[in-house]
Each structure stands twice: as C-alpha cells, then as structure tokens.
Structure 1
Amino acid sequence: MPPLPTKRENRLVGTSLKMYFDLPSTLRYVESVAALSQTASAANVDLFVIPDFVSLLSSKDRLQNTDVWLGAQDTYSEDKGAYTGEVSPLTLSQAGVKVVEIGHAERRRLFGETDEDVAKKAAAIVRNGMIPLICIGEKSKSDIASQAVGLAVSECKPQIEAALSQLPDDAEVILAYEPVWAIGASEPAGADHVVAVTQNLRALCAGRKGRTRILYGGSAGPGTFQRLKEGVDGCFLGRFAHDVGNLEKVIKEMSE
C-alpha cells in the first residue's frame, strides 16, 4: 500500500479591524466572522479576528462555541503597574484573547516603537499563555528584483531576531510579513518577491522547536494566497476583509 498522505499544517487567516469600526458595527462584524467558524474548521484553517480593546469582552461572548480565535491589537510589556493608558497582557489573557498583534508598521511609525519594544511585548504575550503575531516588513523598495529580496530580508532579519531572542524556543509564534510600502496600496506585493522573502525568513526560524507560521499582509485579499502559498501559511487581511464575503473566499481558497 502507498503511504498515507500526511496532514498538512493548518493554514491561518485573520483580520485586524484597527480603528475603522464603531462598537455596534464591530460586534456585527464579529458575529459574521463567528458564522464562518465551521467553514474554516472544515478547511483546516485557523481563523482569527482582532477588534479594538473596548469590544473584546463583547466579542468573546459572540465567539463562544466557535473555533475562531480572539485577538488584541497591542499590549504592554508589563503585567501590572503604574502605566496609565496601557493594556496588560495578563488582563488580555483573562479576557479570552489568544493572539496579540504587535509591531505593526503604524505602531512603529506613529508611536516610535522599536524592535526592542516589540521583543519585550512578545515575551509578555508568551509569558501569559498567548501567541504573539509579530508584524515585520521592510520600508525600502527596489525596482530591481534581485536587490529587492536581499533588501527586504536584511531589514526583516533584525526584527525577527530581536523578538525571538526574548522567547522560549518552544513558544508558538506568528510572523506577519507586511512590506511597509504595500500597506494600503491598490495591489499586494508581487508574488515572486513575497515567496522569495518569506522562504528566506522561514529559514531563519528553521531550528526552532515551537510552531512558527508566516502570514502575508499588505493589501491582501481574495486570490492572494494561491499566488503565495509556496512561501506563506496564510494571510493577514486588512480592509478587503471588511466585506466578510471576501474573508470567506480566502478561507475557501486556502482549502484547495
């Protein structure tokens, strides 16, 4: 008898709502995502949604009895203390959060977050039993393909190394590769570029004991994953996922 095929690693897809939605529309959206849980599970796809902080507990209620992961858009690096306005990773864990997005290009640009800041947050997330979703990506862009890949890897490598240096080797990690120049663009980065970069980034993590999955973000939508699947494990969707129908299309593409 021929050997049975091995079950592939679950693919992964999700979206962060940033600050686009108000409270009622956020909860309606989360309910729509919850309705996709069975579709995602049948496709061996892990599905997550990341609302704003105010919506977390109400979102948790709407995701009960589903396999959808609840995410948070950021955290602080300390569990407790005099840090007015910050959000504790301990509290997020107690609120039912499973994955925490950190290091997004907007956080780095608008709030001056450094690789060291992101690394400390990653450690706090893992310490509290959650999964860090670490956004990485290059600012620079070259029109020469061979140079573009090397440039991207050289800018992303220290971002990854800084974060992993603070984590147990067996910690689960998600890396979201988002070229800064592709965020908000009309089209995602070119497939050849993304596949080449993410294959290089995966090699950096090859010796880890913990599960490390790589997503692509940056104007990702329906059709993106099939072009990138040789390099990534899924997609981190932005505005194209505001239409839940697009999110459903991506899940179905990942099942193929």
Structure 2
Amino acid sequence: MIPENSTSSEDSASALGPRPIVGVSLKLYFGLARTRSWLAEVAALDEVLTALPRPVDLFVLPSFPALADAAGLLGPTRIAFGAQNVHWAEAGAWTGEVSAGMLAEAGARYVEVGHAERRRHFGETDETVAAKTRAATRAGLIPVICAGERRGGDPVAAVEETLAQVRAALAGATPGSEVVLAYEPVWAIGGREPAPAAHVRTVTAALRDALRDHDVPGRVIYGGTAGPGTYTKLAGAVDGLFLGRLAHDTEGLRAVLEEVSGG
C-alpha cells in the first residue's frame, strides 16, 4: 500500500517549495523483535503527522526480514517504508540478493543506494550505484541516493567529489522517475555534530543544479549526525533530514518532524 502522502516532489510542490521529507535507516542496530516494537512506536506517530502545521513525508528503512512487519504496522498509516539495499538484476542466479521488483511487491516505496558503508565495506562503485538506481526506478521505487565526500574541510572539493557520485547515479535513473538525494559527508557520519551549515549549503546547492541538469524530479536531504536543530540551521538548503540513531528514540523523531514542519 502506498501512503496517501507519498506523492512526487513535483506534485507536492507549493509556494513553500517541495514537501519536506524525513527518512530513518535502522542499519543493523536492532533485532527483529526490537524492530517490530519500534515500528509500532513509529506507527503511532501517524497522529503527529496528521496534526502538523505543514505536511511532512516520513519513510523508514528496516532490515529485509522486517519488511513484512513494516507493511502490516505502517500500511494503515501515511508512513512509508523501504529497504536499505537492492540488487540491480530483475532475476537470476544472484544468491542472497533481493530485486527491486520483489521490494515493490512487498509494499516498499523507497530504497537506499550508494551509502558510504556499502562503498567502503562491499566495494560498491559509482557504476554499481547507477545500476541499482536504474533497477529501483524501473520498478517504481524511489531511490534514496546517498553521496558525500570522504574528508572534510574544503567545500569546493566536497562539491566535486559528491557531484561525481550523484551525476553517475542520476544517469541511471529512468526518465521522469522521482529520487531523493541524501547528502551525507562521510566524515560527519557518527560524529559529534553535523557538518557546518555553510558547508552543507554549498554542496546541496550544487546537488539541486544536478537534478535540474538531468531533468529528474527530486528532493535533497541531509544526513550525518542530524538531529533536532539541524534542519533549522539548514533552512532553505535542504528539504528534510536522513536520521540514524537519534530516531531510535521516537520522541527524538517526533521532535524532528515538528521542527521540519515548522511547528
């Protein structure tokens, strides 16, 4: 089931710009039982979403074994779910892999591709990410394309490195498909604080240009030690946030939703 508010960024655009969006990746922090209880807590936030002064899209990315639970618990709500990974092939002898078509059948709406951990630990390349983006968009999924520079300090170098990753991924997108660009400077992931606002603004402005250049509708979000206060500092530069451990406590997630909505 696709949540009622899972419209494209183009459809949801208004005088205030694209509809804000918040995503959460659980990575491999929870077991199945804990994931189920967390999803139940997230489902209860549907009332919060309904009462927000400005609509906000929310999606969560649990591990593969919990997708059925996500469908059951979040299906009646306006909260979308998806997966943290996908394979580029539609079918075949790919032991242990999951296709985009199967994710769509399971009710997934989003899928994460290109995360720095996948690049570092599993050798994923720009070509791999482009192939996964192509598979996701062909299946009607919205890829959450992660990109970011490895070392901090120089925003010009950050733009160059991040843009190379994003342009490669966008080249694989099916024409007219929607994407979410998640700017996640690698050096800020798991750090004590997010990247400086001026640095993020420089990079995300370039990412918006890339979306226009490739004629791909999409929204830009920031991840990398994001939490309450981050969105306010980045007002106008991003359309939302991509959260990690902060969202393990759903009260923290609630606070971010209210902030992003302007409440």
**TM-score exceeds 0.5:** yes
Task: Quote the Cα distance in structure 1 between the aligned partners of 2:224 and 2:29.
Answer: 16
Task: Quote the Cα distance in structure 2 between the aligned partners of 1:35 and 1:52.
Answer: 20
Aligned counterpart for 1:32 among listed residues 27, 30, 41: 41
Contact map agreement 1:133 1:173 (CA 8 A) in 2 = yes
Task: Quote the Cα distance in structure 2 between the aligned partners of 1:208 and 1:118.
Answer: 16
Task: Please report how far the alpha carbon of residue 125 of structure 1 lies from its aligned counterpart in structure 2 after TM superposition.
Answer: 0.4
- Which amino acid in structure 2 is aligned with residue 12 of structure 1? I
The C-alpha deviation readout for 1:92-134, integer Å capped at 9, x for no partner, is: 0100000000111000000000010000000000111110000
Runs of 5+ in structure 2 lacking a partner? 1-13
Alignment of 1:68-217 (within 5 A): 68-142=79-153, 148-217=154-223
- Which amino acid in structure 1 is aligned with residue 89 of structure 2? E
Match of 1:224 in 2: 230
- How many residues are matched? 247
Match of 1:145 in 2: none
Task: Quote the Cα distance in structure 2 between the aligned partners of 1:207 and 1:131.
Answer: 19
> 4+ residue stretches of structure 1 with deviation over 4 A?
none
TM, length-normalised to structure 2: 0.91
C-alpha RMSD of the superposition? 1.3
- Which amino acid in structure 1 is aligned with residue 230 of structure 2? T
Residue 51 (str. 1) matches residue 37 (str. 2): no
Task: Quote the Cα distance in structure 1 between the aligned partners of 2:82 and 2:129.
Answer: 17
TM, length-normalised to structure 1: 0.93
Contact map agreement 1:37 1:47 (CA 8 A) in 2 = no
The C-alpha deviation readout for 1:168-223, integer Å capped at 9, x for no partner, is: 33110101000000000011111111112111221122245442101100000111
Task: Quote the Cα distance in structure 2 between the aligned partners of 1:158 and 1:208.
Answer: 13
Match of 2:4 in 1: none
Aligned-partner SS, 1:166: coil
Task: Quote the Cα distance in structure 2 between the aligned partners of 1:10 and 1:162.
Answer: 25
